[in-house]
């Protein structure tokens, strides 16, 4: 089974919610109304941490695309970016230097500024009553912090709500990009037949390494085509027209950190320490949208047609599986789209009794 998401939207789960009283966070909702509901007096106050980075900019795009209601928004970044001017939904904002007091009066704080910043500043935001959604790895494996994919395990954050009056802060961790893609596709099948073993190979785009990596891939492509030596600053080796093992550090067990994130996060999200997961993560010279090959072994029998129907009915999943035309998900096809695209759905011939796909 092949799965591919939109560029960085797999990291960002933002949803339109009513604010007053106690509003549950978040379920995937696409507002069908053509009326803009963004800037509104009864919406929450939002802060975007790391707003000048690739993911911070994607936060803003998703907020706008989903007509997410808010009464105010603060653009926060490091002192290097402080003072920059940003335009969002027709309004001009000045980027502020991130400080603990930046979260006074903030209801929702969206963090994507790296693990060290999250560890330092997220608790400060929670203390001031904000619900923090953190995109870094800082809190993912903390037993006290829910690790949430809204379509997969929303119950993990059922105790968290927004309150207009009062200071009730909370922290929600966002899984790693490869985990989100994988579990969006695998969980509907897991619920039906129970996954006992999962083998995942990822093909990860430059966007996962940030804006600088995307710029370097573009620059290297020009340099190689011009016969020049490629500039290698973000990665230690040529990226253009090449692929290599994911650049995350290698651990003593031979896996890299990216691969072990998928193993550990899957077990936490599924609340199942017994599920067997192995992963191989590869960096490929694609600008946006990771792809994955996922092989599943089930406890119960699951035939191909039933698996396809389950995926077609799954929230946040779109099936692109045209064998006759040999047409399946591609990064170009899914970039800047919300859903995880799934294709190459087929029975695993190495397993008997319809116990794998």
**166, burial (CB in 10 Å: exposed 0-12, middle 13-18, buried 19+):** exposed
* Whether 177 is catalytic: yes
SS3 309: helix
- What's the Cα-to-Cα distance from 149 to each of 40, 217, 280, 302, 353, rounded to whole Å? 27, 30, 22, 24, 31
Nearest to 133 by CA among 208, 44, 72, 210: 44
Q: Whole-angstrom Cα distance, residue 233 to residue 209?
A: 12
DSSP codes, 181-243:
HHHHHHHHHHHHH-EEEEEEEEEE-GGGG-HHHHHHHHHHHHHHHTTPPPP-SSSSS--TT--
Q: Determine which one of 190, 246, 290, 355 is catalytic.
A: 290
Residue that has been written with the tokens 């492509």 in this structure: 221
Q: Let me know if 190 is a catalytic residue.
A: no
Contact yes or no for 107/131 (Cβ under 8 A): yes
* Of 7, 10, 11, 177, catalytic: 177
Cite the active site residues.
177, 290
């Amino acid at each position: 089974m092949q799965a591919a998401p939109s560029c960085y939207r797999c990291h960002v789960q933002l949803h339109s919610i009513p604010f007053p009283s106690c509003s549950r966070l978040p379920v995937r909702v696409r507002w069908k109304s053509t009326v803009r509901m963004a800037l509104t007096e009864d919406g929450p106050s939002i802060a975007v941490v790391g707003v000048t980075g690739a993911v911070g900019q994607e936060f803003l795009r998703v907020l706008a695309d989903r007509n997410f209601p808010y009464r105010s928004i603060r653009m926060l970044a490091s002192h290097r970016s402080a003072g920059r001017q940003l335009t969002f939904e027709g309004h001009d904002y000045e980027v502020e230097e991130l400080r603990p007091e930046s979260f006074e009066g903030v209801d929702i704080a969206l963090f994507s500024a790296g693990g060290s910043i999250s560890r330092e500043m997220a608790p400060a935001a929670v203390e001031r009553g904000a619900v923090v959604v953190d995109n870094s790895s800082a809190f993912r494996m903390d037993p006290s912090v829910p690790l949430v994919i809204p379509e997969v395990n929303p119950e993990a954050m059922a105790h968290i709500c927004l309150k207009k009056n009062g200071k009730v802060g909370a922290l929600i961790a966002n899984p790693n990009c490869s985990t989100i893609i994988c579990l969006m596709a695998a969980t509907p099948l897991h619920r039906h037949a129970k996954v006992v073993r999962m083998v995942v190979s990822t093909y990860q785009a430059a966007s996962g390494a940030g804006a600088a990596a995307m710029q370097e891939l573009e620059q290297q492509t020009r340099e190689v085509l011009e016969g020049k030596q490629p500039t290698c600053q973000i990665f230690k080796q040529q990226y253009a027209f090449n692929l290599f093992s994911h650049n995350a550090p290698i651990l003593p067990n031979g896996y890299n950190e990216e691969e072990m994130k998928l193993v550990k996060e899957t077990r936490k999200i599924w609340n199942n320490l017994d599920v067997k997961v192995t992963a191989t993560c590869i960096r490929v010279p694609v600008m946006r949208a990771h792809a994955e090959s996922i092989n599943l072994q089930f406890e119960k029998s699951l035939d191909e047609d039933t698996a396809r129907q389950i995926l077609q009915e799954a929230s946040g999943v779109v099936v692109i599986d045209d064998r006759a035309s040999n047409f399946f998900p591609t990064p170009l096809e899914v970039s800047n789209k919300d859903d995880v695209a799934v294709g190459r759905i087929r029975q695993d011939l190495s397993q008997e009794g319809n116990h794998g796909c």
